[in-house]
Amino acid sequence: MKNKIKVFRAMHDMTQEDLAQAIGVTRQTILAIEKGKYVPSLDLAFKIARYFNVNIEEVFTYEPGVQAVHID
Amino acid sequence: MKKNTFYLLGGCIALVLLTLFWYSVEINSPLLIEIAFVLGIILVYILRRRVTDLIEDERSRKITEKAALRTFQVFWVIFCAFSIGAVMQILRVPTFPRQREPMRPPTEIFPPEIMPPKIMGYVQLWLLCLMIFLYVGFRFYYARKYGDWEIDEE
């Protein structure tokens, strides 16, 4: 699962801390998502997309065949 | 309540529990520290719910769950292995005299070989330490795996 959170953050001139506070998670979680270390839940993914006023597909891209790092 | 205040109060509770543990040993009354321990943990849980600046999101919850699950998966095997041994001690029927000690006079009566309480205490302490180490180890492992110590590029 790839994402463009970093791009959207840059477009909105936001730090990881700003985004984390806005959606109610820790900065480490934003960092882990950006680095691909953690795949967020649908709920959190929608929150991030809604925050940037875009569709979820614009922020997150599913790549078949790529091993997703997910806690389950 | 601030996070640091909670940690400070947690430290104070730990100190009180340690003092009560020492006192319980002195007066030889385990009931005191057992009740105090349960009350102390309940107090810590209540205090933790009042902390306002401690953010627990889905990732941190997942890491905690994963570490707890793995600890349980490893610990129950070891705990059951010990428990089976302990149950065998209960079910054991003593034989008099023991055949493997033929040199002793036959009139001497030996008590059945039951695991002494002191040894039981040591084993319990070892199991407790093992559980804590397992949990902390798994917690660190999963925190690292899921990006807790990633280098920030900002």
User: Chain A contact for B52, CB < 8 A?
Assistant: no
Q: What is the pLDDT of residue A18?
A: 93
Q: What is the pLDDT of residue B77?
A: 95
- For chain B, the domains span 1-54, 58-154
Nearest CA among B76, B11, B80, B91 for reference residue B43? B11
User: Chain B contact for A49, CB < 8 A?
Assistant: no
Instruction: Show the domain range for A20.
Output: 2-61
Distance from CA of B56 to the nearest CA of A (A): 7
Contact between B146 and A71 under an 8 Å Cβ cutoff? The reply is: yes
Nearest CA among B61, B144, B139, B56 for reference residue A37? B144
How large is the average pLDDT for residues A3-26?
A: 92
Q: What is the pLDDT of residue B7?
A: 92
The torsion angles phi and psi of B84, rounded to 5 degrees, stand at -60, -40
CB-CB under 8 Å, A26 with B147: no
- The answer on pLDDT for A64 being more than 60 is yes
**Is residue A66 in a domain?**
no
Cα distance between residue B148 and residue B142, in whole Å:
9
Nearest to B147 among A15, A38, A43 (CB): A38
Cα distance between residue A61 and residue B143, in whole Å:
25
- The answer on pLDDT for A5 being more than 90 is yes
Q: What is the pLDDT of residue B94?
A: 64
Q: What CATH number is given to the structural domain containing A29? A: 1.10.260.40
User: What are the per-10-residue average pLDDT scores of chain B (154 residues)?
Assistant: 90 95 91 94 93 86 95 95 84 63 59 69 90 95 85 66
At A31, is the pLDDT very low, low, confident or very high (cuts 50, 70, 90)?
very high
Side chain identity at residue B127, one-letter code: L
When comparing pLDDT for A25 and A72, which is higher? A25
CA separation, residue B25 to residues B33, B45, B123 (Å):
9, 26, 18
When comparing pLDDT for A64 and A52, which is higher? A52
Cα distance between residue A1 and residue A62, in whole Å:
5
Q: How far apart are the first and last CA of chain A?
A: 15
Q: What is the pLDDT of residue A66?
A: 56
Q: Which residues of B91-109 are buried (b: 16+ CB within 10 A; e: fewer)?
A: eeeeeeeeeeeeeeeeeee
**Is residue A71 in a domain?**
no
CB-CB under 8 Å, B146 with A71: yes
Q: What one-character-per-residue DSSP string does B70-129 give?
A: HHHHHHHHHHHHHHHHHHHHHHPPP-SS-TT-TTS-TT--PPP----HHHHHHHHHHHHH
CB-CB under 8 Å, B150 with A35: yes
- Cβ-based contacts of A40 with chain B (< 8 Å): 58-59
- The answer on pLDDT for A69 being more than 70 is no
Chain A residue nearest residue B146, CA to CA: A37
Mean of pLDDT over chain A: 87
Q: What is the pLDDT of residue B116?
A: 74
**Is residue A6 in a domain?**
yes
- Count Cβ–Cβ pairs < 8 Å, chain A vs chain B: 52
**Is residue A17 in a domain?**
yes
Side chain identity at residue B130, one-letter code: L
Q: How many CB atoms lie within 10 A of CB A21?
A: 15
The structural domain count of chain A equals: 1
Nearest CA among B15, B147, B72 for reference residue A70? B147
